[in-house]
A = this chain, B = another copy of it.
Amino acid sequence: MQRSDETSRRPEFRARYFVESSESIQKTAEVIAGEQSSGTFLDVPGETDELKQRARARVTRLQTLPPAMEPSLRSACVERRGHRGPYHRGEVEIAFPVDNVGANLPALLATVAGNLFELGDVTGLRLLDLDLPADYAARFAGSQFGVQGTRDKAGVHGRPLIGTIVKPSVGLTAAQTAALVDSLCAAGIDFIKDDELLVDPAYAPFEARLAAVMPVLHRHADRLGRMPMYAFNLSGSIDEMLRRHDQVHAAGGTCVMVSLNWAGFSGVEHLRRHSALPIHGHRNGWGALTRHPQLGFEFAAYQKLWRLAGVDQLHVGGLRSKFCESDDTVVQAARDCLAPFAGLPPVMPVFSSGQWAGHAPETFARVASTDLMHLAGGGIVSHPDGVAAGVASMREGWEAACAGVPLDDYAQERPALRAALRRFGSLA
């Protein structure tokens, strides 16, 4: 079913939702459009036709789906009414006037992902996707480096960036971190990141880690002709993030990392406006926003919001990872990051969690791109022959994947990959 109530020429952006409700999808869609623009639960005297014309959201598409007999999520409101089902389901697209929001990320979120999750009749609501006109999207900070800028800074082209996370995640001293980085760089790694738990611990302050790590990176950069990219986790207060960014930049570093959901849209966009470096976006907490299929966010929408804010690299999980998401979800997330969006550049999908060389062939086959970052934590630092062999095994896994050679064959003459297959094979 297709609807278009108005032919207004005002600029609009659109949000698409899965909706489940004790009321009809038609009525629920109208309630959402009202609540998220100029309406409320009662008729409001001031909502004139003229005001509606400039401010009211409208339902632009509506597709009903088979109803459920039990609600996906409980609602005290529905229960008070003694409603016994059915729970109508559908997909709904709503168009909002750009003029209501402007280039304001918190206001955009309050509009497309605000109180509507809590509406009383609603027993399921998920933001599936967003669509913004390019000239509207251009008013946000937006990704500055994306795939191409990340590759240029890292000096890695034509293959994925092979990376790792400093492990143990927390607890290492600055000197211990630098020693680990040294061995990773010696092994030819492309990318290293701090764990999301690690920023500025008492026993390894940010500045001490930076001071210990950067000379190591420079030494290897001189040798390699490219500086291994290190994503320093600078998450913290606004002042700390800017100061740490400047310290990283002044020291010659090439990447900073931030916990997106907790620094927040205002925090991340501010960092982006200030930043001379690619921003590695860590999505920790994402599970709370996405894990129930009838609640929260689909990654398609989530990644667009963070591309507006300005991330350049974004975590997508990993195939057969230690996390809960299905491989299909992970692959789709990577494709989302690489897909065009309103004139913004594609961003690097970051594969991480329980990864090792054995994941390369299927990752390549399913994403159909080498524009990605493949991070192995334990898969590198716990390689039985050491980190050098761990990095080599990852590189060899991707060589095999890109060449279309089975890993076992490719491993015949390559002891690092062979040892990885022997040690980690049961994990794939």
Footprint of B on A, CB under 8 Å?
36-47, 51-52, 54-56, 73-78, 80, 98-102, 104-107, 109-111, 113-120, 122, 125, 167-172, 176, 180, 196-203, 235-241, 258-259, 261-270, 273, 282, 284-289, 291-293, 295-297, 317, 320-327, 329, 353-354, 377-379, 381-382
Contacts and interface: CB of A to CB of B under 8 A. Distances in A.
B325 A40 contact: no
Nearest to A282: B110
Nearest to A104: B236
A396 B327 CA distance: 59
B382 A262 contact: no
A110 B169 contact: no
Given A114-B285, A115-B323, A171-B52, A107 B200 contact: yes
18 contacts: A36-B197, A38-B170, A39-B169, A46-B167, A46-B171, A74-B293, A76-B326, A100-B201, A101-B201, A105-B237, A106-B262, A107-B197, A107-B200, A110-B197, A113-B285, A237-B269, A239-B270, A267-B270
Contacts of A197: 36-37, 100-101, 107, 110-111, 114
A113 B284 CA distance: 8
Given A104-B240, A115-B353, A263-B266, 17 more contacts: A37-B197, A44-B378, A45-B381, A46-B168, A46-B180, A100-B171, A102-B200, A104-B236, A109-B259, A110-B282, A114-B196, A116-B287, A118-B286, A263-B265, A264-B267, A265-B267, A288-B297
B37 A118 contact: no
A383 to B, nearest CB: 10
Nearest to A236: B104
Contact of A200 (B104, B109, B270): B104
Contacts of A261: 109, 264
A104 B262 CA distance: 10
B262 A109 contact: yes
Contacts of A317: 118
B169 A38 contact: yes
A200 to B, nearest CB: 6
B44 A381 contact: yes
Contacts of A295: 287-288, 291-292, 295
B292 A55 contact: no
Given A106-B258, A258-B106, A119 B265 contact: no
A292 B73 contact: yes
A168 B40 contact: yes
Contact of A324 (B74, B237, B269, B291): B74
Contact of A202 (B52, B74, B102): B102
Given A168-B51, A169-B37, A117 B268 contact: no
Given A115-B196, A262-B265, A287-B117, A41 B110 contact: no
A321 B116 CA distance: 13
Contacts of A289: 288-289
A353 to B, nearest CB: 8
A229 to B, nearest CB: 21
A104 B329 CA distance: 32
Contacts of A176: 46
Given A117-B288, A266-B267, A172 B75 contact: no
A239 B105 CA distance: 13
A188 B23 CA distance: 38
Interface centre among A113, A117, A238, A324 (most CB of B within 10 A): A324
B324 A76 contact: yes
Contact of A238 (B37, B47, B198, B270): B270
Nearest to A200: B102
A291 B117 contact: yes
A291 B73 contact: yes
B202 A99 contact: yes
A320 B235 contact: no
